[in-house]
Structure 1
Amino acid sequence: MARARGRSVDQVVAAYLDHLTVERGTSHNTLDSYARDLRRYAAHLQAHGVTDIGAVEPGHVTAFGVALREGDADHRPLAASSAARALVAVRGLHRFAHADGITEHDPARDVHPPAPARRLPKALPVDDVLRLLGTPPPDGERALRDRALLELLYSTGARISEAVGLDVDDIDAEERTVLLDGKGGRQRLVPVGRPALEALDAYLVRARPVLAKRGRGGPAVFLNARGGRLSRQSAWQVLKTAAARAGITASVSPHTLRHSFATHLIEGGADVRVVQELLGHASVTTTQVYTLITVNTLREVYATAHPRALG
């Protein structure tokens, strides 16, 4: 293949964005982000005297990564996630140029985006969880269902998808356990607390039969108003509505009660490997993030309570 020469950075950026649009079907939002990042990259190269895509060297790409994180005369520093996204765009640009025969080498091949900062899961304080579970719901079948769902989520640490995937036969009231279907087809038995079992019993006896009559008699534990299996989105809405009713101002997510379950266990002295089993994590490394939350809490308490903490 004959190699084209003298292509400007701007020309190759335009060709790359066209490639993403036509051949890759990239979303409009992603294209906008890439275009913005690559315009900044082109301006950075031009400021360093580079306008030909073939003249770009690894040092230019590395310097751009530094400018993203530290800022420059025209731009403020970017968050780690935004800087990583910009470098992904740059790597894609140079990979495209090399594969298309525009350049002989890929100067970004060995320049990797920084690992994103590990975000700590959001957990509610124990008092907020108790208020969430203790706020009386309205009357009716769905109210009993919602109460049972919330109690189960906090009692077992189940993902919302695992909770709505439960069938009636997965609950063993005598053994006080539920069988959850986790990621990758892994199943696990998880203990259930007495308040959750009582809420489940009230729902299964008094409300589920009424809801089931409206559907086709499926095995799902949690049913919607039409008698079908409750969706993950509807279960999340149950949580959001309950949080608003309880006056909880912190943002809630599908994992709020799962994160609270894990954090409260760790704070209560549970071994991280036991929590790993309860959560269904394949690796204990995933679970160890909850120990970071506990350490942060200890630091905050120490900083505010110890008379020599700031000395």
Structure 2
Amino acid sequence: MLGLSDGLDPADDSLTTWIERYLDLAVRGVRSAEVAAKIARHLDRFAGWIADGLGHDRLSAVTVREVTAWRDHLATAGNTGRDGTTAPMAAATVNNHLAHLSALFTWICAHAPAQLLHHGDPTKKVPPLPLPAPQPRALTAAQVRTVKNIVDRIETFHELKGRRHRGAGKERLHAHARPLRDRAIVYLLFGTGLRRAEVVGLDLDQLEAADPAALRQAKAARLRDVRGKGRTSRTVFLSRDARQALADYLELERPSDAAASTGPSALFLSAASIAARRPNGRLSPRSINTILGEIGHLHDAQTPDPSRKLGLLRPHDARHTFAFQLSQASGHNRAELERRLGHANDRYLRLYTNPPDDIAASYIEDL
């Protein structure tokens, strides 16, 4: 092949071949199946970009200019819809593509013949896109009040309607509905700042006290050894609302679902009537998004005041709200924030404790 150093096989200069080698030797079986699939997808996009733009996939032809052009392409038209239309890709997603490409070329530089990449790693001089300043999503006190009002009445929204469902002895709720569980999850999120993965990872034996009667009377109930990011663990104390809601769920809803479960005893369980649920009944992280999203929808449908509308209610909105309230209650005690949020990163602590704009605006209203 013209331009290829002596002693090198043309296959050594194939970007596609090197991507497959990298995936087989350094990614698949090392990273989770989900992450490996994402890395392969990102690298295939780059290989396709090179082949379409240059008419070949020679690895030695990949330059800083090509990597920069790919980055800018993703930022302006990286997403393609089903109808063929394109849209910009978020800066964080573009940077994730660049990170995977950089890891590929770092591996290639360590394993490829020295004369293959004459100019070294082409990703080293391509800076990531600047990220927009993170925006806090803490709810206002008025919004928290109306959310709790909806959650306290959540059973009424799951009742079966119509004449045929009336009468003694008839089932009042939809078969899959678990309003007491959903209420307990909402109060737990707003009262502890737990992440969604931390919530679904909870086991019943982490709760002190786990007996409903004792939980209602306790003044310092807690969750032990809550597993967070980076293999960290922490103790989480439960608010009064969370204690009462958990006691109701443990007494009235959970036993029937637990009877159909096997394996480790998860704190929160899917309805036993769901055919596709896991054998141990444990909820998935995505189910927490669904629960919060439905409650946000109910909230906005029941709330005529535009200033209280939530739009999409997400689990991290509850985390931001808890962090902001804890910051105020603790006198902005950094050590307490680190301990309760499971975060030591200054950037995230500042994000979680920033007030939303309407609260910040009230600070200077009368100055």
In structure 2, relative to structure 1, the CA distance for the partners of 1:263 and 1:271 (3 Å cut) is: same
Q: Give the conservation status (yes or no) of the 8 Å contact 1:67–1:77.
A: no
Q: Which amino acid aligns with 1:297?
A: D
Matched, 1:235 2:318: no
Instruction: Indicate the residue corresponding to 1:150 in structure 2.
Output: 186
1:204 CA drift (Å) = 2.3
Instruction: Indicate the residue corresponding to 1:48 in structure 2.
Output: none
Q: Give the conservation status (yes or no) of the 8 Å contact 1:122–1:259.
A: yes
> Which runs of no fewer than 5 residues in structure 1 stay unpaired?
44-50
Instruction: Indicate the residue corresponding to 2:233 in structure 1.
Output: 187
5 Å matches for 1:93-104? 96=108, 99-101=111-113, 102-104=116-118
Moved more, 86-95 or 118-127: 86-95
1:298 CA drift (Å) = 7.7
Deviations along 1:128-153, whole A, 9 cap, x unmatched? 33323321112558211211121111
Instruction: Indicate the residue corresponding to 1:220 in structure 2.
Output: 266
The one of 20, 33, 54 aligned to 2:45? 33
Helix, strand or coil at the partner of 1:224:
coil
Deviations along 1:136-195, whole A, 9 cap, x unmatched? 112558211211121111111122233331315523442423224222554322222212
Q: Distance in 2 between matches of 1:306 and 1:120?
A: 25
Helix, strand or coil at the partner of 1:246:
helix
In structure 2, relative to structure 1, the CA distance for the partners of 1:111 and 1:189 (3 Å cut) is: same
Deviations along 1:229-249, whole A, 9 cap, x unmatched? 431343332222222221255
1:278 CA drift (Å) = 0.8
In structure 2, relative to structure 1, the CA distance for the partners of 1:80 and 1:153 (3 Å cut) is: closer
Q: Give the conservation status (yes or no) of the 8 Å contact 2:194–2:319.
A: yes
1:277 CA drift (Å) = 0.9
Q: Give the conservation status (yes or no) of the 8 Å contact 1:272–1:288.
A: no
Moved more, 254-263 or 19-28: 19-28
Q: Distance in 2 between matches of 1:37 and 1:90?
A: 16
Q: Give the conservation status (yes or no) of the 8 Å contact 1:3–1:103.
A: no
Moved more, 62-71 or 108-117: 62-71
In structure 2, relative to structure 1, the CA distance for the partners of 1:203 and 1:91 (3 Å cut) is: closer
Instruction: Indicate the residue corresponding to 1:270 in structure 2.
Output: 332
Q: TM-score, normalised by structure 2?
A: 0.60
Deviations along 1:252-307, whole A, 9 cap, x unmatched? 3343322221133335653233122111224455423324x33x738962899599
Q: Distance in 2 between matches of 1:61 and 1:216?
A: 54
Moved more, 230-239 or 211-220: 211-220
Instruction: Indicate the residue corresponding to 1:128 in structure 2.
Output: 143
In structure 2, relative to structure 1, the CA distance for the partners of 1:103 and 1:246 (3 Å cut) is: same
Matched, 1:255 2:316: yes
Instruction: Indicate the residue corresponding to 1:297 in structure 2.
Output: 357
Q: Give the conservation status (yes or no) of the 8 Å contact 1:68–1:77.
A: no
Q: Give the conservation status (yes or no) of the 8 Å contact 1:144–1:203.
A: yes
Q: Give the conservation status (yes or no) of the 8 Å contact 1:41–1:64.
A: no
In structure 2, relative to structure 1, the CA distance for the partners of 1:195 and 1:40 (3 Å cut) is: same
Q: Which amino acid aligns with 1:235?
A: I
> Which runs of no fewer than 5 residues in structure 2 stay unpaired?
29-35, 79-86, 157-172, 210-214, 273-278, 301-308
Instruction: Indicate the residue corresponding to 1:163 in structure 2.
Output: 199
In structure 2, relative to structure 1, the CA distance for the partners of 1:166 and 1:123 (3 Å cut) is: farther
Q: Which amino acid aligns with 2:352?
A: Y
In structure 2, relative to structure 1, the CA distance for the partners of 1:242 and 1:39 (3 Å cut) is: same
Q: How many residues are paired up?
A: 293
Instruction: Indicate the residue corresponding to 1:46 in structure 2.
Output: none
Q: TM-score, normalised by structure 1?
A: 0.69
Q: Distance in 2 between matches of 1:14 and 1:185?
A: 36
Instruction: Indicate the residue corresponding to 2:299 in structure 1.
Output: 246
Instruction: Indicate the residue corresponding to 1:288 in structure 2.
Output: 350
Q: Distance in 1 between matches of 2:90 and 2:234?
A: 38
Q: CA RMSD in A?
A: 4.8
The sequence identity of aligned pairs, in percent, is: 22
The one of 61, 84, 92 aligned to 1:81? 92
Q: Distance in 2 between matches of 1:230 and 1:129?
A: 28
In structure 2, relative to structure 1, the CA distance for the partners of 1:92 and 1:196 (3 Å cut) is: closer
